[in-house]
Amino acid sequence: MPLLLAAFATSANAERFLVKNQADYAATAKTLKAGDTVVLANGVWRDFEIVFSGQGATGQPITLMAETLGKVIIAGRSNLKLSGSNLVVTGLVFRDGYTPTGEVISFRRAKDDSASDSRVTEVVIDHFNQPDRFQSDYWVGLYGQRNRFDHNALVGKTNQGVTLAVRLDTAGSRANKHQIDHNYFGPRPSLGSNGGESIRIGTSAYSMHESNTLIEDNIFDRCDGEVEIISVKSGANVVRRNLFLESRGSIVLRHGDGNLVERNVFLGHGKPHSGGVRVINRNQIVRDNYMEGLRGTGFASALTVMNGVPNSPVNRYVQVENARIENNSILDSSSITLAAGSDAERSATPKDSAFSGNLLQLTDGATSIIAEDDIAGIAMRGNILVGGASPFAGIVAQKLPLTRAANGLLYPPMGIKTGAPRDLTVARLGDVGPAWYAKPAGAVKFGSGAALAVSPGDNSLAKALQHLASGSCLVLAPGRYAVDRTLLIDKNVCIQSAAGGRATVSFSRAPLFEIAVGGDLRLAGIDIRGDDAADAVGNAVIRAAIEPMPANFSIELDHVDVRDLDVNKSFDVIAIGKSAMAGSIRITDSNFANISGMVVSAESETDDFGRYNAEYLDISGTTFDNIHGGIVSLYRGGSDESTFGPHFRFEKNRVTGSGGKDRAAIKLVGVQQVNIRGNTFTKSGALRITETTGSPMMTLIDNDFVTTQLPVLVAQGGRAAPPLALTGNRVDGAAR
Ligand code: CA
């Protein structure tokens, strides 16, 4: 039976129950009344679907708490549902598991049974991911009225679905006055698909309703899931005083009118695709924000004002009308884009809007301010551009020194009122999330740990890997290493030859390396030979993954020599399976020869849902000789516009006898950034580049094609050809 503890002073009848197992909790939960507290004993609670219901009262909530904050771990297939009123939950940590339902924490039990006037505070959800990254869920679903979600930490979501969703699907969940404050939204890696937002308020179906949700004083740290960090799809919300730190994407006022975005600080630190605010719809106010070091362009510019669709349906783009964009500082940033997305459908330019009192300093001066259509409907007044000539009336070019104030932000000399206010405060990591929860450090870097010397011998490589700490390096003495089993890479591992000689690795069982959750692999200065490999179709040297995997990984090959993967057909070097995502694959100064499959096969997401297998694929200074399957296949199908990637760079490589009449040497579909430069292709198959969606940036420059099929460029979506920059290429020695 639950243990009855001392009565609370707040109410003569208030009781405090310590429960030690799920049966005790269930029995106690039925009896709770205003002022009561139920305490979960410290320890791991596995497969625990917590239903927390009751009617507390103002000043006499019913509380569910950990015996010690942070010492109650909710693991396995678990979740929490709240219903009733005046409930408080605190001190729990969800980790080592995932929810069997669509939400981890839900502010309702059933559609007509939600929680109101309730609070979840100092709760952690840490890598509580579905095993399959495309099995969707929300970590937090907010329903009901006047709920507060504060001082929580949500870290490491890798599966599809919004981290925190404010839902408006019942009348009782609208005009909700929820408050989301002082939370730590921790790193969320690129999902490689739509559905990687950190917060979404509403959906297009309910976007005509006001939500009245307040999002303030939170930190978004490396929230890179997709193009929207916060997706506002309802009206009358306030996004205030948040810090966006090195996060890809932007606040997007996607649907709904009358939202206010003010006093936020965006620090991109030069990270690609770090953006600010994108404006769509009516009566939006964007004022007093500070942005520095943002590198987003196009829709993810520091500031983007979109063109609309005339008489837009709710799920498209409502024309911008009466936007007020005032007193923002946009410094050391790549881009401001106005009338963005202008095309045959999005033809309604912004109207009755104002852009005034903003302080601008852009990386390429005035050319960083782009108008894609008529901007006569945006009245410009009193803006200052620091550096460069003025592109528009209402933006005055002025040389001004900018100096850092005590708050760490840059300001012009005193007396100049243009730009963000001087009393801005920058949210501090110590002020968000639970104080007892350590914020995650940066990702483990290759070679940051110890170096361990390994000599040739019976499975010496497998043995050395077993107890290696993440970030460590195996340094192989010269000689031959015969490996008879698949080596599981579930941590950050680097394997390199010792100075003065090269190690050669051969393997009888494929794949040689299998990337598992948490794994990153760097190979440097080693030779890999396939001549001992078993005769099995579809072998690979490095594979991720046979099972879907809920984590991104990195692979680096540097000064590696791989040859003779030809015991059977389709023997790849790197093969990425469905529902696996490489954050980056980088190959430098290496050699590949006599390979029956591909060097990088990243073409498993064939459902055309806008998904893909590799965010960055970067190959340089490398030779390819007789690669039968072609060097790379990178595939992203579908018309969705929610991702920045994939990115492909192929520079200063030499390709000979690779691909063939029916096989492309390089096959790219739907890749958003393509840079193919300074390569030589001899007696090889074509480059086959298919554009499918978005505004891809593609260059094909200074390449030599010798006795090689010409590039095949295919455009979908109405374009005649992909928007490809083609210069300096030669075909059989002649300029083309
Ligand atoms: Ca989205």
- 296 Cα–ligand 1 center, Å: 16
How wide is the angle at C-alpha 632 spanned by C-alphas 628 and 638, nearest 5°? Answer: 130
Q: pLDDT at residue 723 above 90?
A: no
Dump strand ranges (E) for 412-519. Answer: 451-454, 472-476, 479-483, 487-489, 492-497, 503-507, 513-515
- Cα gap 173→147, rounded to integer Å: 10
| Under 8 Å between Cβ of 353 and 323 | yes
The average confidence (pLDDT) of the chain is 94
Span of 227-241, 358-372, 390-404, 709-723 with lowest mean pLDDT: 709-723
**Residue 711 Cα, ligand 1 centroid: separation in angstroms?**
33
For residues 636 and 291, give the distance between their C-alpha atoms in angstroms, rounded to a whole number.
31
The alpha carbon of 225 and the centre of ligand 1 are apart by a number of angstroms equal to 9
Residue 585 C-alpha to ligand 1 middle, in angstroms?
25
Query: What is the C-alpha radius of gyration for the chain, rounded to an integer number of angstroms?
Result: 28
Average pLDDT over residues 145-171: 97
Local confidence band at 8 (pLDDT 50, 70, 90 cut-offs)? very low
Question: 295 C-alpha to center of ligand 1: Å?
Answer: 19
Considering the chain, what percentage of its residues have pLDDT values greater than 70?
98
Return the closest-CA partner of residue 304 out of 365, 242, 372.
372
Q: What is the 193 CA–ligand 1 centroid distance (Å)?
A: 8
Q: What is the pLDDT of residues 509-557, one digit of tens each?
A: 989 999 999 999 999 999 999 988 888 777 899 999 777 778 899 999 9
Quote the ligand 1 centre to 184 CA distance (angstroms): 20
Q: For 299, list phi and psi in degrees, rounded to 5.
A: -65, -20
Topology at the third CATH level for domain 116-422: Pectate Lyase C-like (2.160.20)
- Mean pLDDT over 50-74 rounds to 97
Q: What pLDDT is stored for residue 1 in this prediction? A: 42
Q: Cα(610)–Cα(639) distance, rounded to whole angstroms?
A: 6
CATH architecture label of 451-735 = 3 Solenoid (2.160)
- For the chain, give every domain's residue range: 116-422, 451-735
- In angstroms, the CA 264 to CA 242 distance is 5
Residues 6 or more apart whose Cβ sits within 8 Å of residue 290: 264, 265, 266, 328, 329, 331, 409, 420, 424
CA 227–ligand 1 middle distance (angstroms): 6
In one-letter notation, the amino acid at residue 367 is T
Give the count of alpha carbons within 13 A of 130, CB side only.
21
If one compares 207 and 522, the residue with the highest pLDDT of the two is: 522
From ligand 1's centre to the CA of 160, what distance in Å? 11
Q: For residue 158, how far is its CA from the centre of ligand 1 (angstroms)?
A: 15
Q: What would the pLDDT profile of 94-121 be if each residue is shown by its tens digit?
A: 999 999 999 999 999 999 999 999 999 9
- Say whether pLDDT at 45 is over 90: yes
Contact by Cβ (8 Å): 533, 511: no
What separation in Å is there between the alpha carbon of 226 and the centre of ligand 1? 7
Distance CA 612, CA 631 (A): 17
Tell how far the Cα of 333 is from the centroid of ligand 1, in angstroms: 23
Q: Give me the pLDDT at residue 545, please.
A: 77
Gap from CA of 374 to ligand 1 centroid (Å): 27
Going by pLDDT thresholds of 50, 70 and 90, the confidence category of residue 6 is very low
User: Region 267-296: what's the mean pLDDT?
Assistant: 98
Task: With beta carbons less than 8 A apart as the criterion, state whether 276 and 289 touch.
Answer: yes
Amino acid at 112: D
**In the predicted model, is pLDDT for residue 636 greater than 80?**
yes
User: Does 650 have pLDDT greater than 60?
Assistant: yes
The reply to whether domains 116-422 and 451-735 share a CATH topology is yes
Alpha-carbon torsion (295, 430, 583, 610), positive or negative? negative
* CA gap 577, 572 in Å, rounded: 12
Separation of 528 CA from ligand 1 center, angstroms?
Answer: 41
Task: Kindly give, in sequence order, each residue whose CB lies less than 8 Å from that of residue 676, ignoring residues fewer than 6 positions away.
Answer: 648, 649, 650, 651, 666, 687, 699, 700, 701, 703
Q: Give 616 Cα–ligand 1 centroid separation in angstroms.
A: 20
Please give the average per-residue pLDDT across 598-612, as a whole number.
Answer: 93
Task: Give the tens place of pLDDT for each residue, 693-722.
Answer: 877 889 999 999 999 988 998 887 666 677
* Cα atoms found within 13 Å of the Cα of residue 231, Cβ hemisphere only: 24
Q: For 463, which DSSP code?
A: H
Whether pLDDT at 166 is above 70: yes
According to the model, what pLDDT value does residue 717 have?
65
How far does the centroid of ligand 1 lie from the alpha carbon of residue 217, in Å?
23
Q: How many CB atoms within 10 Å of residue 720?
A: 6
249 Cα: distance to centroid of ligand 1 (angstroms): 10
Cα 556 to ligand 1 centroid, rounded to whole Å: 30
What is the side-by-side order of every strand in the sheet holding 734-735? 479-483, 503-507, 526-529, 561-565, 591-595, 623-627, 654-656, 680-682, 704-706, 730-731, 734-735
Report how far residue 191's alpha carbon sits from residue 169's, in angstroms, rounded to the nearest whole number. Answer: 26
What is the whole-number distance in angstroms between the Cα of residue 194 and the centre of ligand 1?
Answer: 5
pLDDT band at 312 (very low <50, low <70, confident <90, very high): very high
CA–CA separation, 632 vs 627, rounded Å? 10
Read off the pLDDT of each residue in 378-405 and give the average, rounded to a whole number.
93
CA of 643 to the centre of ligand 1 (A): 8
Q: How far is the CA of 362 from the centre of ligand 1 (A)?
A: 27
Would you put residue 579 in left (φ > 0), alpha (ψ -120 to 50) or beta?
Answer: left
Give 82 Cα–ligand 1 centroid separation in angstroms: 27
The confidence band for 675, taking pLDDT boundaries of 50, 70 and 90, is: very high
Tell me the average pLDDT across 482-501: 95
Average pLDDT over residues 414-436: 96
- What is the pLDDT at residue 12? 57
Q: How far is the CA of 195 from the centre of ligand 1 (A)?
A: 5
Q: Is 204:177 a contact under the CB 8 Å cutoff?
A: no
Quick one: pLDDT at residue 536?
79
Mind listing the pLDDT tens digit for each residue in 566-599?
A: 988 899 999 999 989 999 999 999 999 999 999 9
Sequence-distant (≥ 6) Cβ neighbours of residue 450 within 8 angstroms = 469, 472, 473
Residue 457: per-residue pLDDT: 86
pLDDT tops 90 at residue 443: no
Beta bridge partners of 94: 74, 125
Mean pLDDT within 172-195? 95
664 alpha carbon – ligand 1 mean position (Å): 33
Q: List the one residue out of 90, 225, 85 whose CA is nearest residue 157.
A: 225
Q: Rounded mean pLDDT of 77-98?
A: 98
Instruction: Check residue 426 and give its pLDDT.
Output: 96
Residue 192 CA to ligand 1 centre (angstroms): 11
Residues 6+ apart with CB under 8 A from 306: 278, 279, 280, 299, 317, 320, 339, 340, 341, 346, 350
